Amino acid sequence: MNTRTALPEGVISLPGHEAHARGVLDANAWAYFAGGAADEHTLNANPAAWQKLQLHPRILRPVAGGHTRVSLLGRSLAHPILLAPVAYQRMAHPDGEIGTALAASAQQAGLVLSTQASTPLEAVADAIRNDPDRGPLWFQLYLQHDRGFNLELIHRAEAAGYEALVLTVDAPCNGARDRERQAGFRLPPGISAVNLSRLVPRPDPARHPHQSALFDGLLQQAPTWDDIAWLQASTRLPLILKGVLHPDDAREAARLQVGGLIVSNHGGRTLDTLPPTAEVLPEIVEALGGSLPVLVDGGIRRGTDVLKAMALGGAAVLIGRPYIYGLANAGALGVAHVIRLLRDELEIAMALSGCPTLGDIPADLVRRARN
């Protein structure tokens, strides 16, 4: 495992971090962090969809005194960039989730910690608790088969100071990840989902030979809309649903009065051939009519992508793989560098588009490329 803490020479962009990390991570870790489901059509379509959108700027607009601030869930954020939940970060660098948290805090970025973090949720919260300028700290939740354990995990997150729960709703089972299977992926010794260590094994119901291990086994306890109401009654934290792609699901979430939505296709890691999030985002925003904040992840690699997401009605964006590549390259410093690069590029894109603030984005800033 790489233990470098100095920025690699010549890396000046998020794609540059990715290219460098390819030579740093071993084949096992690269397959896990970089791979997607099946033929990886969605994995590749996500960044391509942002690139196909064109910016249509205005000129000679006054932009002095501009800023990147946004308001989200009652908080003022210095910028609209958050770090998406990614599991097992100590597999990328010994700094792991602590390094990521320190970098996010230093760069005022929001952080969503994974249920499957390789560092206890309390330790991550403690590392940045006393920074008054940090961004929001949220906890991502995969509902487990044991409701009592779910309650314990939620209460731990509340007690540690997490400010929202992010429920992943698009992955009741893993996708068919060919790259991981070809690499024979396995967690290295000493790395595990430590926050799930007290979870009792899932009961394996007796099945007839003709029954499915998936449909008649694992999915017997998969979450449904009924669990959303139970979860809301079980926590004082706002609940954000991550993995929404269909307008009807967005409307149902609004009916249940959740705190927000994240338009996400799980970075192309679950079901392949899903639409890219850049194409889905405006459909979800239109369906909700401003009733809920809508965030988006998937393929964001440039500040222009962030600006496009905001122009399409997004409240904020999340990045996943890019900061993991930064972590692999230089630990906490690498993560901070990724966030800073993206924020700097966002400011440049705003200035060159005639938008001093994100609230000044005109409706026609983004258009589809003409074939």
- Domains, in order of start, for the chain: 14-58+74-195+222-365 (3.20.20.70)
In the annotation, is 145 catalytic? no
Mean pLDDT across the chain, nearest whole number?
A: 94
Averaged pLDDT, 277-296: 98
Q: Which residues make Cβ contacts (< 8 Å) with residue 63, sequence separation at least 6?
A: 350, 351, 354, 355, 356
What is the distance between the alpha carbons of residues 323 and 18, in angstroms, rounded to a whole number?
9
Q: How far is CA 96 from CA 142, 156, 167, 320, 333, in A?
A: 20, 20, 22, 14, 12
Tokens standing for residue 231 = 């979860």
Residue 212 has pLDDT above 70, yes or no: no
What is the distance between the alpha carbons of residues 265 and 109, in angstroms, rounded to a whole number?
22
- Look at 175 and 239; give whichever has higher pLDDT: 239
In this predicted structure, what is the pLDDT of residue 293? Answer: 98
Residue 209: pLDDT band with limits 50, 70, 90:
confident
What is the distance between the alpha carbons of residues 22 and 217, in angstroms, rounded to a whole number?
37
* Residue 279 CA to its chain's centroid (Å): 17
Supply the DSSP symbol for 207.
Answer: -
Residue 138 CB: number of other CB atoms within 10 A? 24
Residue 1 has pLDDT above 70, yes or no: no
Q: Which residues make Cβ contacts (< 8 Å) with residue 145, sequence separation at least 6?
A: 202, 203, 221
The answer to whether the CB of 323 falls within 8 A of the CB of 83 is yes
Residue 218: pLDDT band with limits 50, 70, 90:
low
Provide Rg for the chain, Cα atoms: 20
The partner residues of 319 in beta bridges, in order of sequence, read 83
Active-site choice (17, 79, 93, 266): 266
In this predicted structure, what is the pLDDT of residue 247? Answer: 98
The answer to whether the CB of 298 falls within 8 A of the CB of 51 is no
In this predicted structure, what is the pLDDT of residue 235? Answer: 97
Share in percent of the chain as helix, strand, coil (round to 5):
40, 10, 45
Residue 206 has pLDDT above 70, yes or no: no
Question: To the nearest whole percent, how much of the chain has pLDDT over 70?
Answer: 95
Supply the DSSP symbol for 370.
Answer: P
Over residues 183-192, the pLDDT tens digits come to 999 999 999 9
Residue 3: pLDDT band with limits 50, 70, 90:
confident
In this predicted structure, what is the pLDDT of residue 205? Answer: 65
Match 């996943």 to its residue by tokens: 320
What is the distance between the alpha carbons of residues 185 and 30, in angstroms, rounded to a whole number?
10
